[in-house]
Amino acid sequence: MSIKVFIPTPLRPYTDKRDTVEVDGRTVGEVLQNLTSKYGQVRQHLYAENGSLRSYVNIYVNDEDIRYLAKDRTPVKETDTVSIVPSIAGGVEVDTENVESDVRLSNEEILRYSRHLIIPEVGLKGQKKLKAAKVLMIGAGGLGSPLGLYLTAAGVGKIGIVDFDVVDVTNLQRQVLHSTEDVGRSKLDSARETLQSINPNVVIETYEVRLSSENALELFSDYDVIVDGTDNFPTRYLVNDACVLLGKPNVYGSILRFDGQVSVFDARRGPCYRCLYPAPPPPGLVPSCAEGGVLGVLPGIIGTLQALETIKLILGEGEPLIGRLVLFNALKFKFRELKLRKNPECPICGDEPTIHELIDYEEFCGIKRVTEEIIDEKTEITVEQLKARLDRGDDIFVLDVREPHEYEIVNLGALLIPLSELPKRFHELDSSKEIIVHCKSGRRSARAAEFLRKNGFKRVKNLVGGIDAWAERIEPGLPRY
């Protein structure tokens, strides 16, 4: 009996780039076993060494999580679909009733929001709720751009933005809050200027800080809704935990290449992010947008959906995405909805929580804090050291583990074996030579170097910073991406 399995973006390099495959099986366990037999490299991403499913991977039959069915013994029939949903780098009780009598709309505001006012579900009362509401955006980037634009245009009274980055030219393909003239400028300054030009009636509060366990609770406390526009796992878990501890709804969105996810996590009435993903994937396993890319219009779609959910929460209208996860595939233009359930064993919102305060989230996600470039000379090499050795004519072999389309953009003339193909092709390499492995930034090549060492290669080093560091510090004339 053939069952259709939906393959997420991070695993498609290991299924010949297919987004769906069909394998036989009468239970979920049989389907997954046959899938990993057919595509061997998928196994290490789905299963831990003890044979159990990894905690950052969820399996759904149709729209139900198998953790709440019969787990891997869940039966499947030919009309069912199995979805692999890995993690990819609420209503809300906004207290507007008590302040509604104090909120006034000027004649200019009545005219500005007239298309809202004539909708019965919004009306004058709803527009006053929007004006009384306070929303905190985490990030002024790809997701934060459409989110900020539409919340401001809608008349949300106070919008806070947390960001500490500057505008880079690579942002402009998708971060529509910023323009070419803003390159090198603080994202917060650029965002504030753009949003105030759209609606001067909205208060824009900016926080040019790195969100941390030390400041999150204080920053979140004054806001009604928190909207997560982050692109890394430590901040995502931090946002979740702070929202749970404070009883705030968390409007979640994530994007990668052509895929997006949206949900609303409100532990008071449904699951939180940890219920869905109890633990993060290992560092480097899931590519960031900088490593994996993102279609420029995708954050516009997902960020706008986050704005929609935020406005619904404030108005108290419709059915918010509490207990539901929406997946969007841009290439096929398909939306799929999966049910989420509260995990009674969740360490922060379960029946007997063990987390009562914010923790070290970089340590939790297995990420080392780096304040300066300190390398392990046994396993790493800097671009300056590689350049010096190449100039001396040392007998070293350089291996590029990026994808072919990246190699076309810029390369060092090295042999190209993409990371996903390395387990099948490492025999092409000479284990007697010293091998320097590089990718774009050093993350994928670190995994490749570790793989080679485990397979008998004794002299392997990872190029810290990858070809991006080489283009920045050795050959500035090379293109960067």
Angle in degrees, 0-180, between the axes of helices 383-392 and 466-473, rounded to the nearest 10: 70
The residue ranges of every structural domain in the chain are 2-86, 133-364, 380-473
CATH of region 380-473, choose from 3.40.250.10, 3.40.50.720, 3.30.2130.30, 3.40.50.2300:
3.40.250.10
pLDDT at 143: 97
Backbone angles phi, psi at 164, to 5 degrees: -135, 15
pLDDT in tens, 169-216: 999 999 999 999 999 999 999 999 999 999 999 999 999 999 999 999
- Looking at residue 8, the DSSP 8-state letter turns out to be P
DSSP secondary structure letters along 405-418? HHHHH---SPEE--
Cα-only R_g, the chain? 24
Give, in words, the CATH class of 2-86. alpha beta
Residue 275 among the catalytic residues: no
List the structure tokens of 176.
């529509």
CB atoms within 10 A of CB 333: 7
Residue type, 317: E
Q: How confident is the model at residue 403 (pLDDT cuts 50, 70, 90)?
A: very high
pLDDT in tens, 234-266: 999 999 999 999 999 999 999 999 999 999 999
Tell me whether the CATH fold assigned to 2-86 matches the one assigned to 380-473: no
Q: Nearest-CA neighbor of 467 among 443, 448, 434?
A: 443
β-pair partners for 225: 135
Asked if pLDDT for residue 89 goes beyond 60, the answer is no
Asked if pLDDT for residue 449 goes beyond 90, the answer is yes
- Where does residue 372 fall: left (phi above 0), alpha (psi -120 to 50 degrees), or beta otherwise? beta
Give the span between the Cα atoms of 420 and 151, in whole angstroms: 41
Residue 289 among the catalytic residues: yes
Give the span between the Cα atoms of 145 and 195, in whole angstroms: 10
Asked if pLDDT for residue 435 goes beyond 50, the answer is yes
Give the span between the Cα atoms of 304 and 131, in whole angstroms: 19
pLDDT at 366: 78
**Is 404 in a helix, a strand, or coil?**
helix
List the structure tokens of 248.
């705030």
User: Which strand ranges, in their side-by-side order, compose the sheet holding 380-381?
Assistant: 380-381, 460-463, 434-438, 396-400, 415-416
pLDDT in tens, 271-316: 999 999 998 887 766 777 777 789 999 999 999 999 999 999 999 9
Give the span between the Cα atoms of 474 and 481, in whole angstroms: 16
Asked if pLDDT for residue 447 goes beyond 70, the answer is yes
pLDDT at 93: 46
Tokens 């299963």 correspond to 47
Residue 298: half-sphere exposure toward Cβ, Cα within 13 Å = 24
Lowest mean pLDDT among 46-55, 56-65, 66-75, 339-348: 46-55
Q: Which contiguous run of DSSP H or E holds residue 448?
A: helix 443-454
Asked if pLDDT for residue 91 goes beyond 60, the answer is no
pLDDT at 286: 72
pLDDT at 370: 46
* Active-site residue, selected from the candidate residues 243, 275, 289, 346: 289
Give the span between the Cα atoms of 109 and 255, in whole angstroms: 34
How far apart, in Å, are the Cα atoms of 63 and each of 85, 395, 407?
Answer: 11, 55, 39
Q: How confident is the model at residue 390 (pLDDT cuts 50, 70, 90)?
A: very high
User: Which strand ranges, in their side-by-side order, compose the sheet holding 334-339?
Assistant: 203-207, 158-162, 134-138, 225-228, 250-256, 259-265, 324-329, 334-339
pTM, two decimals, is: 0.78
Give the span between the Cα atoms of 259 and 329, in whole angstroms: 5
pLDDT at 11: 86
Q: Nearest-CA neighbor of 434 among 444, 449, 454?
A: 449
Residue type, 128: K
DSSP secondary structure letters along 27-71? BHHHHHHHHHHHSGGGHHHHB-TTSPBPTTEEEEETTEEGGGTTG
pLDDT in tens, 319-375: 999 999 999 999 999 999 999 999 999 999 999 999 999 999 988 887 765 444 567
Angle at 446 between CA 442 and CA 449, to 5 degrees: 130
pLDDT at 95: 52
Are the CB atoms for 332 and 176 separated by under 8 Å? Answer: no
Mean confidence (pLDDT) of the chain? 92
* Active-site residue, selected from the candidate residues 272, 349, 365, 439: 439
pLDDT in tens, 8-42: 877 888 898 888 999 999 999 999 999 999 998 88
CATH of region 133-364, choose from 3.30.450.40, 3.20.20.70, 3.40.50.720, 3.40.50.1820:
3.40.50.720
Are the CB atoms for 136 and 220 separated by under 8 Å? Answer: yes
